[in-house]
Amino acid sequence: MRKLWLAAILSLMYVSSFAQETLCGNGLDDDNDGFIDCFDGDCFANSICKDFYIGQDKPCQDIPIKPADFSLAQKLASPDRTTSTWGRIDVGDLDADGIPEVITLNPADKKLYILKGTDLSIKYSAVTSGIPEYYDHVIGDVASSTGSGCARIFIAEVVGGKYFITCYDCKANKL
């Protein structure tokens, strides 16, 4: 009897090690390997997965003949404290003059900056009502989309523990 159990266990192990994802469009991980349908390598050749991106790598490498020599040099810098080290920027043509502006925030100073895209000098600035939060989510809609020639900037601020969305125009005037 013990031999029968051992044979059964070994048979199951043999079957599971060779199990395959044969149903590639049923939304299930049929062979319990953690990959479902076209995400499973067993399905790469299945016609259902012919346009799937996994397993369909294109030969588009361009291997350099020798390591490329290059260097980086800073071309422009904004004035000190016009942003925070962990903040992100938004870039857009806020006043439809064909030159992009750069929107930044400094939460520590409670300041909003609109910088000139040509030299990163300060074009406009505003003191925010509260502390800008989610300062990497400043949104400036492009001027052409508003029809006014002056885009709007939305930022989240915290005042007294409450969150507010504040709107500024392309010259950092609070609306």
Looking at residues 4 to 23 of the shown chain, list those that interact with Ca ion (rule: CB under 5 A).
21, 23
> Which of 11, 16, 26, 121 forms a contact with Ca ion (CB under 5 A)?
26
Cβ 17 to Ca ion shortest distance, Å: 13
By CB under 5 A, residue 109 contacts Ca ion:
no
The interface region with Ca ion, picked from 69-77, 97-105, 126-134, 160-168 by CB under 5 A, is 97-105
Cβ 172 to Ca ion shortest distance, Å: 13
Nearer to Ca ion, 23 or 156 (CB): 23
Ramachandran category for residue 91: left, alpha or beta (phi over 0 → left; psi -120 to 50 → alpha): beta
Cβ 119 to Ca ion shortest distance, Å: 13
The interface region with Ca ion, picked from 38-46, 50-58, 63-71, 146-154 by CB under 5 A, is 38-46
> Which of 82, 92, 95, 103 forms a contact with Ca ion (CB under 5 A)?
95
> Which of 9, 11, 97, 145 forms a contact with Ca ion (CB under 5 A)?
97
Q: Is the dihedral of CA 144, 145, 148, 153 positive or negative?
A: negative
Q: Residue 148: count other Cβ atoms within 10 Å of its Cβ.
A: 13
Burial (CB < 10 A; 0-12, 13-18, 19+), residue 52, is middle
* CA dihedral of 107, 112, 115, 121, whole degrees rounded to 10: -70
Compute the distance between CA of residue 101 and CA of residue 120 in angstroms, rounded to an integer: 8
By CB under 5 A, residue 90 contacts Ca ion:
no
By CB under 5 A, residue 99 contacts Ca ion:
yes
Q: Which residues form the interface with Ca ion (CB under 5 A)?
A: 21, 23, 26, 28-31, 33, 35, 37, 40, 93, 95, 97, 99, 101
